[in-house]
Amino acid sequence: MASALFALALLAALAGPVALRLRRRPGFVTGRDGRLSTSTTLALAWTVLLVWLLLAILAYGLTAGGGVSYFRGTGTGSDGPLSSLTSVYLPLLGGPYAALIAAKAVVGFRLESGSMAKPAPRPTPGGRRPLRELIANDSGRTDLVDLQYVTLSAVTMLYVVLFFLSDVGGGLPRLPGEIWALTGAPAGAYLVNKMATRANPVITDVTVTPEGLLRVEGGGFTEPRLTVDDTPVEAAPDPATGALTARLPQTAKPPFTVVVVSRGLRSDPYRYEGRPAPAPAGPAPRA
């Protein structure tokens, strides 16, 4: 019990500062569009988990385990506390990292060739990013491939943590060698999804100015055609940001639906519900 409590405290000491740092400044795990990167986040999580396992085993071996003899096992190395490191845990770590490297290469190549579009980064309050971005596509809708990748990886991590805490002195939990498939297979599906995703235009935000101008932000707006509730609207792209600006039809009243068609590809419909005008600033209080 004491060993398990110490291991939990070590996990909190290791993962806590990392999570707090990423919550305040998540730039390390964001992609080119400023959103949380699924592949980067999961690769980092597996790295933290494996480092925790190794540090906890090292601390146990040097204290309750009796020193160097603990790591030698019976002398053959087949039953030592780190015996399954190369056969199980490095493949578990390798799948997410292979997906990370390959996904970055695929996305970079497709962006350069014009076969994929990424919306410009959008600032968020305090610079924080919602965790939902890990399972959502560029339009903000849940992506089934990303969802299964995150879910299966989380279940596998929980499996490793619980089995390790049940017997800290046993070293790395003796997991089936095939368990690497729980991260390898979803990582492969995640990569194929990146390669197969069509370059649909993406709408990230819609605003209406008091003057009745409609502003549509997003990415992939090449030769765009804009519609508001299926009514075509002439739009002009902003050369600096790529956002579309158009005169809102007088018949369009919130809520209405905005769609962008670019090179024959249609964006997901964006439902604009309307936003209340900001309240005018009152007089400054007297001292």
| SS3 call for 218 | strand
What is the tens place of the pLDDT at every residue in 181-194?
777 788 888 888 87
Does residue 255 have a cis peptide bond before it, meaning omega lies within 30 degrees of 0?
Answer: yes
Does residue 87 share a domain with residue 29? yes
pLDDT on residue 25: 81
pLDDT at 154 over 50: yes
Does residue 187 share a domain with residue 58? yes
Q: What's the number of domains the chain is made of?
A: 2
Does residue 75 share a domain with residue 6? yes
Range 99-113 average pLDDT: 78
Q: How far apart are CA 63 and CA 240, in angstroms?
A: 61
Domain end point (choices 148, 181, 196): 196
Does residue 44 share a domain with residue 105? yes
Share of the chain above pLDDT 70, in %: 83
Residue 277: pLDDT band with limits 50, 70, 90: very low
| SS3 call for 61 | helix
pTM given for the model: 0.69
pLDDT on residue 51: 93
Q: How far apart are CA 73 and CA 70, in angstroms?
A: 6
Does residue 212 share a domain with residue 189? no
Residue 286 lies in a domain: no
Which amino acid type is present at position 141? R
Does residue 175 share a domain with residue 43? yes
Domain end point (choices 196, 223, 249): 196
Does residue 189 share a domain with residue 240? no
Domain end point (choices 158, 181, 196): 196
Does residue 160 share a domain with residue 72? yes
Does residue 137 share a domain with residue 13? yes
Does residue 244 share a domain with residue 180? no
What is the tens place of the pLDDT at every residue in 50-88?
999 999 998 888 887 677 777 776 555 557 788 888 877
Contact 157, 141 (CB under 8 A): no
Q: Which domain holds residue 225?
A: 202-272
Residue 23 lies in a domain: yes
CATH code (residue 233):
2.60.40
What is the tens place of the pLDDT at every residue in 205-236?
888 888 888 888 877 787 788 988 888 888 88
Does residue 33 share a domain with residue 85? yes
Q: What residues pair up with 214 in beta bridges, in sequence order?
A: 208, 246
Cα 157–chain centre separation: 17
How many Cβ atoms sit within 10 Å of the Cβ of residue 153?
24
Residue 282 lies in a domain: no
Residue 110 lies in a domain: yes
Does residue 243 share a domain with residue 151? no
